[in-house]
A and B are shown apart, each in its own frame.
Chain A
């Protein structure tokens, strides 16, 4: 057939018409749309049988009960556990986002050994042998005390195992990071004597006078505090919040009392003075006061008259008198301390001064008041066996009283102070003030072992990483604390099998102890951490394993607590901010971020406001009156005596003039694109200020200047 133009056109048109009326086009159109609904790169979660398992969250000291929804054994959702005595169904965003930690590809997946600048994978057996070898050498060299540990807390059986290892090894150098629990114990020790801690019965109090405690910012046991705070509305309980910035707690309070940074102790003493002067105190309670009550009262009437206090704190004298009256006349008043989340730097003068208010109005060990309790003693370890090296070493003095003194000592000493360091559940290179000097100190330690699940700032400094299970993969006893009125021990359970080649840190410690042989190994005669846990918690094990928790105490303690005001009666000096710039930079705690222990999850950081984090830039808050020459939303440089940072400025009327607020919890520097390299770490800008007498790092902030970038 001859294909001329006409027949070609005809054929073409015919073909087009044919295809158009045939189902081919429709089919292809339909198929292509179905394909877009099933793109192979969009995940298809597997379905299956649903079960719920209860456990306990140990991401923070809150110790909330959780319920984990699992589908065919795969955890898919964490929620608060109903009727759990701490959190009754609620959970914070970090706990809910817990599964993001479990599956985080940035986890340490297997033991690592540093070779030059890089980490190499190493087997568990080799890693344990290597650690034990180094430690054995140190012990043989005759200075077992040069073995130090940094943990997040003292409580619980895993900490107990670490402590036991150190004691039987012969080192007193066991440290914990500053935590709210440590401040509660220090406060109790200063006023009521050693071996005690404090709980606040916020859910029954009718007037809460908070000296900057971030009751809804993650202070104490966070979810418990949220619930106690929310129930204020029905209970008609009042909250007065005293702090330099309009925090969420201040905004939620019945009254916000702005105060010059770092003068909360003075205000507390000023209020004590009014209460004493106006005879508003509980004379039954004060009858039992020991240690210079009269001297204390005389000091107050001299140094803390309302007008002097007003001068120091910036709170009007009339307001001081009014607050004193409201507080003293309330039926169930509570004064709470612990600025922000309560785990940052605090001064003992402030802690004690605020707590003295409680003692004066006689709310100690009463419902709706403050509970002074014995430290939690539910664990019963068998006696350890100590050889002579252990006895001699353990009896030596600690290199420093707290973490910051240890750092100071290492950095200032030409001789080696610490030869080997264990770090567990702590990130001092991020969370302590002046991170540069902390890193410098760690740099001088020849052998560092990290038990971290993640390659965080401190783990990066380690020579060996023995990665731990996350709280979702391990069994552990989790005692409550952090100012909770009741005492509950919960059981964290392995709701998921380990995702990576990690171990329960309890098992790791037992393995190291066994590898060290001799009396140390004899002190660790458990087959596994499971066996150990069951043994040391024998008294409450049935309850722990059946209910998932055991309530150790609830309600007000019966025994009275002695009160001794000698620490305050001499009016120890109030800590001043370091430096002499014109403004004061203060750290701000934000519930949606984490500043100690774990780092924030991708979900949680997603919730952070663009008034806190904008792209890679941290946003600082400043009152427009103080922001001369700065542009709202513009860049600025903050300079403090120990560092500088480029920041974005946000004008905020909720900040006292003269104050710059910078959020805590940003500025991580490890490999994780979702949470790292965003903003700056406020601890890079603030240095420690040691309170004389207590030895605590009490830097509430630092002097700073700010200029347009």
Chain B
């Protein structure tokens, strides 16, 4: 039915099967859209946020999707700037995932603010001292870059490619993609960093506050590095999920292992830096402000030391080591476990840097604040997931996302029927 749009030589499931899948995920999406409408119509009283939790689930979701979306800029950097040619086989997908992550982040931001129609004041009345201003500018610019990086892939659709203008455009864009990749990497460096700065500059919040270099707190660098380190884990995890669902091998193991190895080294270096940062913060920064580290991790079951151990050791050091050691990295199960742990770890880090910051009392007579999101917040946070699944399904179906797909599946056309 839609075969004219499907890339040449690619095998796809039947249209009705595809449509049913889309409808199911679409229902979840609509639920999220409904919640979003409620929030825009009635305001943020639809959430469980309060004056202690001004930043909550959404800001975490924002930071998390942007962190895992870091696979796009980092893979782009490796592919176009460091010329690691094998990565051309996964760059399209990395860009699509990045596009999904960043568009989701912008959408969540538009829901999260109390006056969405005035959101543009962040540009119009920009305060150069604010990390959020830096985030807004870089994020928007980088989203534009991602769109530009995405366009050639869209134009490679079988029908679009028939239009000579589009064909030439796609070709020429590929040619200058290094410029965009460089721009993207530069912008990402700043917005990932400034997202880290969002928490790190809060000198009124000793749990978040970090010293740093010039105007940038250490979290600035840690966030950039961690996004670069864990982003590829997410790209590879989504690739693996896509392969499982489609029942096809889409990217060759040598490509996966190469990216996994780079990610492993990045994670390990990051975790060492993170451990040093944590030790310095716990033994120097916080005590200088009158806080023992135990102040931040006791009093309630949820924010216990377990969260620190899980983030740094279980979901940081462990995946890092798995991915740098050849034997474990090339074991598909261990490699998958490492990806999963890595993605949990980075999300947990963003959680801690948003929600635990709000939970910890600062005034000696203040109290811990715990919070559970409302269904509207949950629905709008799941919304981008549904949107991502749909976009990946559509792009996978209609665009030549995986250059190695034809090669890997030509010999075994029966694979799909499994």
0 or 1 for each of B113-148: is its CB under 8 Å from A? (1 = yes) = 001011011000000000000000000000000000
For residue A453, give the distance in angstroms from its CB to the closest CB of chain B: 33
Interface 9-mer from A27-35, A116-124, A156-164, A689-697: A27-35
State whether the Cβ of B84 lies closer than 8 Å to any Cβ in chain A.
no
Contact present for B163 and A35 (CB under 8 Å)? no
**A6 touching B117 by the CB < 8 A rule?**
no
A654 to chain B, nearest CB (A): 15
Chain A window 608-635, contacts with chain B (Cβ cutoff 8 Å), 1 for yes, 0 for no: 0000000000000000000000000000
Q: Is the pair B163, A33 in contact by a Cβ cutoff of 8 Å?
A: no
Q: Are B120 and A36 in contact (CB under 8 A)?
A: no
Could you tell me the distance between the alpha carbons of A6 and B121 in the complex, rounded to whole angstroms? 38
A673 to chain B, nearest CB (A): 17
Q: Which residue of B lies closest to A31 (CB)?
A: B117
**In chain B between 283 and 335, which residues have their CB closer than 8 angstroms to a CB of chain A?**
none
Bound Cα distance A29, B118 (Å): 8
Q: Which chain B residues border A32 with CB–CB below 8 Å?
A: 117
Taking the nearest CB of chain A, how far is it from the CB of B294, in angstroms? 22
Chain B positions within 8 Å of A6 at CB level:
163
With an 8 Å Cβ cutoff, the count of chain A residues facing the other chain is: 7
Q: A600 vs B264: C-alpha distance in the bound complex, in angstroms?
A: 64
Would you call B120 and A29 a contact (CB within 8 A)?
A: yes
Q: Which residue of B is nearest A9, CB measured?
A: B163
* Inter-chain contacts of A37 with B (CB < 8 A): 118
Residues of A close to B163: CB separation below 8 A: 6
Interface hits, B75-121 → A, CB 8 Å: 115, 117-118, 120-121
Residue from the set B117, B121, B163 with the largest chain A CB neighbour count within 10 Å:
B117
A35 — which chain B residues lie within 8 A by C-beta? 117
How distant is B118 from chain A, measured CB to nearest CB, in Å? 5
Residue from A29, A32, A33, A37 whose CB has the most chain B CB atoms within 10 Å: A33
Interface residues in A1-49 (C-beta closer than 8 Å to B):
6, 29, 32-33, 35-37
Q: How far is the CB of B367 from chain A (nearest CB, A)?
A: 10
Q: Which residues of B contact A36 (CB under 8 A)?
A: 115, 117-118
CA distance A33 to B122 in the complex (A): 13
**Complex contacts, B118 vs chain A, CB 8 Å:** 33, 36-37
Those of B137-165 within 8 Å (CB) of chain A: 163
- CB-defined contacts of A29 to chain B, threshold 8 Å: 117, 120
Considering the complex, give the chain B residue whose CB is closest to the CB of A36.
B117
List residues of A (458-473) whose CB comes within 8 Å of B's CBs.
Answer: none
Bound: A32/B116 CA distance, A: 10
| B154 → chain A closest CB, angstroms | 14
Complex CA–CA separation, A36 to B40 (angstroms)? 12
In the assembled complex, the CB of B161 is this many whole angstroms from the nearest CB of chain A, namely 14
Residues of A within 8 A of B117 (CB): 29, 32-33, 35-36
- Which of B158-188 touch A at CB < 8 Å? 163
**A33: chain B residues within 8 A (beta carbon):** 115, 117-118, 120-121
Q: How far is the CA of A6 from the CA of B163 in the complex (A)?
A: 9
Measured CA separation A6–B120 after assembly (Å): 34
Q: How far is the CA of A363 from the CA of B120 in the complex (A)?
A: 72
B167 to chain A, nearest CB (A): 14
Nearest-CB residue, chain A, relative to B159: A5
CA of A35 to CA of B120 in the docked complex: distance in angstroms?
14
What's the minimum C-beta distance from B146 to chain A, rounded to whole angstroms?
19
CB distance from A230 to the nearest CB of B (A): 23
In the complex, the chain A residue whose C-beta lies closest to that of B163 is A6
Tell me, rounded to whole Å, the shortest Cβ–Cβ distance linking A135 to chain B.
Answer: 53
B115, B118, B121 interface centre (most CB from chain A within 10 Å): B118
CB distance from B41 to the nearest CB of A (A): 13
Residue of B nearest to A37 (CB): B118
CB distance from B106 to the nearest CB of A (A): 16
Q: What A residues does B121 contact at CB under 8 A?
A: 33
A37-B115 Cα distance, complex, nearest whole Å: 10
CB B185 to nearest CB in A, in angstroms, measures 28
A6 to B115, CA, bound (A): 40
CA of A35 to CA of B115, assembled, Å: 11
Q: Compute how far the CA of A306 lies from the CA of B219 in the bound complex, rounded to whole angstroms.
A: 67
Please, which residue of chain A has its CB at the minimum distance from the CB of B115?
A36
The closest CB in chain B to the CB of A26 belongs to: B120
Cβ-closest chain A residue relative to B117? A32
Which residues of B359-373 are within 8 A (CB) of A? none
Residue of A nearest to B118 (CB): A33
The distance from the CB of A615 to the nearest CB of chain B, in whole angstroms, is 14
Q: How far is the CB of A36 from chain B (nearest CB, A)?
A: 5
A632 nearest CB across to chain B (Å):
13
Closest Cβ neighbor of B165 among chain A residues: A6
Give A6 Cβ to nearest chain B Cβ, in Å: 7
The CA of A29 and the CA of B115, in the complex, are separated in Å by 13
CB distance from A600 to the nearest CB of B (A): 23
B155 CB to closest chain A CB (Å) equals 12
Contact partners of B115 in chain A: CB under 8 A:
33, 36
| Whole-angstrom distance between the Cβ of A41 and the nearest chain B Cβ | 12
Report how far A80 CA is from B121 CA in the complex, Å: 42
- A35 and B121 CA atoms in complex are apart in Å by 14
Question: Whose C-beta in chain B lies nearest to the C-beta of A5?
Answer: B163
Question: Interface code A104-137, partner B: CB below 8 Å = 1, 0 otherwise?
Answer: 0000000000000000000000000000000000
Complex Cα–Cα for A33 and B117 (A): 5
Q: How far is the CB of A24 from chain B (nearest CB, A)?
A: 15
Bound CA span A6–B162, Å = 12
Least Cβ–Cβ distance between A7 and chain B, in angstroms = 12
A34–chain B nearest beta-carbon distance, Å: 9
A404 CB to nearest B CB, Å: 43
Instruction: Give CA–CA (A6, B159) in the complex, Å.
Output: 13
> In this complex, what residue of B is CB-closest to A32?
B117
Question: Chain A residues with Cβ under 8 A from B120's Cβ?
Answer: 29, 33
**Alpha-carbon distance A6/B165, docked complex (angstroms):** 10
Report the Cα distance A655→B186, complex, angstroms: 63
Closest to A35 in B: B117
Which partner residue on chain A sits nearest B119 by CB separation? A33
Output the least CB separation between A21 and chain B (Å). Answer: 17
Task: Look across to chain A and name the residue whose beta carbon is closest to the beta carbon of B114.
Answer: A36
Interchain CA distance A36-B118 in the complex, whole Å: 8
Instruction: Tell me, in angstroms, the Cα distance from A695 to B117 when the chains sit together.
Output: 69
B125 to A: closest C-beta gap in Å: 11
A36 to B117, CA, bound (A): 7
CB distance from B55 to the nearest CB of A (A): 22
How far is A380 from B193 in the complex, measured between Cα atoms in Å? 82
Residue of A nearest to B166 (CB): A9
CA distance A561 to B163 in the complex (A): 113
Q: Give the distance in Å from the alpha carbon of A171 to the alpha carbon of B131 in the complex.
A: 78
In whole angstroms, what is the CA distance A139 to B118 when docked? Answer: 72
Q: How far is the CB of B123 from chain A (nearest CB, A)?
A: 11
The smallest C-beta distance from A389 to any residue of chain B, in angstroms, reads: 64
Task: Give the residue name and chain of the B residue nearest to A33 (CB).
Answer: B118
The answer for the CA separation of A285 and B118 in the assembled complex, in Å, is 77
Task: Kindly provide the distance from the CB of A26 to the nearest chain B CB, expressed in whole angstroms.
Answer: 10
In the assembly, what is the distance between CA of A29 and CA of B117, in Å? Answer: 7
Contact with B along A659-692 (1 / 0, CB 8 A): 0000000000000000000000000000000000
Complex Cα distance A37/B118, Å? 9
Which residue on B lies nearest to A6, using beta carbons?
A: B163
Shortest distance between the CB of B350 and any CB in chain A (Å)? 30
Q: B30: shortest Cβ distance to chain A, in Å? A: 25
Q: In the complex, how many angstroms separate the beta carbon of B382 from the nearest chain A beta carbon?
A: 28
Q: How far is the CB of B43 from chain A (nearest CB, A)?
A: 11
CA of A77 to CA of B115 in the docked complex: distance in angstroms?
Answer: 30
> How far does the Cβ of B96 sit from chain A's closest Cβ, in whole Å?
23
Interchain nearest-CB distance for A406 vs B (Å): 48
A interface residue numbers (CB < 8 A to B): 6, 29, 32-33, 35-37
Q: A6-B163, A33-B115, A36-B118 are in contact. List 7 more A-B contacts (CB 8 A).
A: A29-B120, A33-B117, A33-B118, A33-B120, A33-B121, A36-B117, A37-B118
5 residue pairs from A and B, CB less than 8 Å apart: A29-B120, A32-B117, A33-B115, A33-B117, A33-B121
Which 9 residue pairs of A and B lie closest in terms of their CB atoms, listed nearest first?
A: A32-B117, A33-B118, A36-B117, A33-B117, A36-B115, A36-B118, A29-B120, A33-B121, A35-B117
List B residues at the A interface (Cβ < 8 Å).
115, 117-118, 120-121, 163
